Structure 1
Amino acid sequence: MSAGAMPPSVLGAVLGAALLHAGWNALLKHREVDANNDASTDSNADSNAGDPLVATLLVVAGAAGCAAILLPFLDAPSPASWPFIAASSVLQCAYYLLLAATYRAGDVSHAYPLMRGSAPLLVAFVNGPLTGERLDGAQWLATGLICGGVLAMWLGARGRGRATGLALLTACVIAAYTLVDGAGVRRSGAPAAYTLWIFLCTGLAVWLLAARRRLPALLAQARARPLVAPLGGLASLASYGIALWAMTRAPVAAVAALRETSILFATAIAAFVLRERVGRARVAAACLIACGAAAMRLG
């Protein structure tokens, strides 16, 4: 990747977007809650306050709120793209619920590389039969790197089979909505509005499905961590929006590859902020997956 292919400002923006994506994922796993909840908070809320699903609900609410504020200022997507918005919203609803379940079962440093690294591999394999495209030599090398990293992560999981399975299932959903959005955004004529409608619809759907029984825990979590919804929602929107902007200023493959540094950022955040036990084997596996994912995008 030459300097001419990606200006320094775009390079910095994409790295920032990768950091934002890793950061809002870390918010879901953060278990710091106010130990001195007031007497009005019941025991069920106390037991659920550290649940990643509660944090997920706050983040999607923040993202949906931001989308609702911005959408009136944008042109509506083309009618041809609305079936894709609907399909993507269903898939992303499943994604957020699976994401919460995955982080409930395992560490960020274990799950995040599996989810984010395996998705490009799945997209590449599925896209071939759909479009007739075939993997080239570099992409087969990338496949080997990702598979090696996933195998190393699995071998080092030590009883985390549920977390591994959920992470790989989440990767399948990521791959599915990536393919849907790849087709839908081209039909929309309004990429920003297309994206914001998905965030809004997804947020509403996730709340309808999961929020009703968790209102006490949500209120407790919102009081204890008031910045989760606004910062998590903004980070989620900004990480995706910056990537879309960067793809108008630099080669798409280069931007997509650079975004995979989020795997390394997530591993570092897990080690130094979340205080997870991240050994050398897990770091090596994360690096293999990140390199393979980047090579898959560039291939």
Structure 2
Amino acid sequence: MKFRAILAVVTAVLLPVQALAWGPEGHSIVAELAQRRLSPGAAAMVERLLGPGHSLASVASWADDVRDNRPETYNWHFVDLALAEDRYDSAKHCQPSAKGDCIVAALDRLQLALRCAPNDDQKREALRFAVHFVGDIHQPMHTMGEGRGGNDVTVEVRLAGAKSCRGGPCPVMPYRSNLHRVWDSTLIKATTWSWGAYVDRLEGGWLASPAARGTDGGTPAQWAEETHRAARFVWEQLPESRVVDDAYYGKILPTLDRQLRLAGLRLARFLNDVQAPGQCARR
């Protein structure tokens, strides 16, 4: 009993700090999907900036790793829109501050930096941030202002998910968490045993169909608005009891899959466009 009490206190303290973005699994999924779709020019750029044999997945969580030491980047990971809002307004949602402005403006700057920065050190940092932020802008909780993006929304997790244990459903062990953390990693981990297996699952599904063509376009502002609509949907599916169970999982799994695969496609397009002929100016 004493151990459980201590564990509960530690968990309550750590959760708000740890719930920053897609977890390492989600960011690795997005990065690997993009890696497989890089143009020859973009692949050469990645190899030059990261070094031979280094993948996008290897730097996909770097922006979270440096966040505490780079407080001016804090707000670059998200954009806060109220659930009732439909449109992103830079004057309202992306004001400069000591913690930065927002993810939409950050991505606009990063693409320009990847194209036009005067040296590879600056381009390398821009690449590391971009890989992470294209993932973040597709995480529904990163476009929802309510409850600090779900960090303050306490939930009880009673989830077996899609994995099987010795031929049957995995045991359910209830615990308390928050909605943001559930979307960061809990749902992904409940679906497959590894992020690589999740990539294979997505590649063998919708991504292999003609429906995937043409979904990699748009601007960061449009991505934010689209993700915000997904945030509204998954928020509406959460029961009043605030229990995340297999019923909730079944309703939102298509959205989880869609956001991860769109992020991968759009990250590839984001990096491929950097290599397109053109002057160093905003598109």
TM-score (norm 1): 0.30
Q: Give 1 or 2: higher helix fraction.
A: 1
Name whichever structure is richer in strand by fraction.
Answer: 2
Structure with the bigger RCO (C-alpha within 8 Å, sep 6+) is 1
**Normalised by the size of structure 2, how large is the TM-score?**
0.31
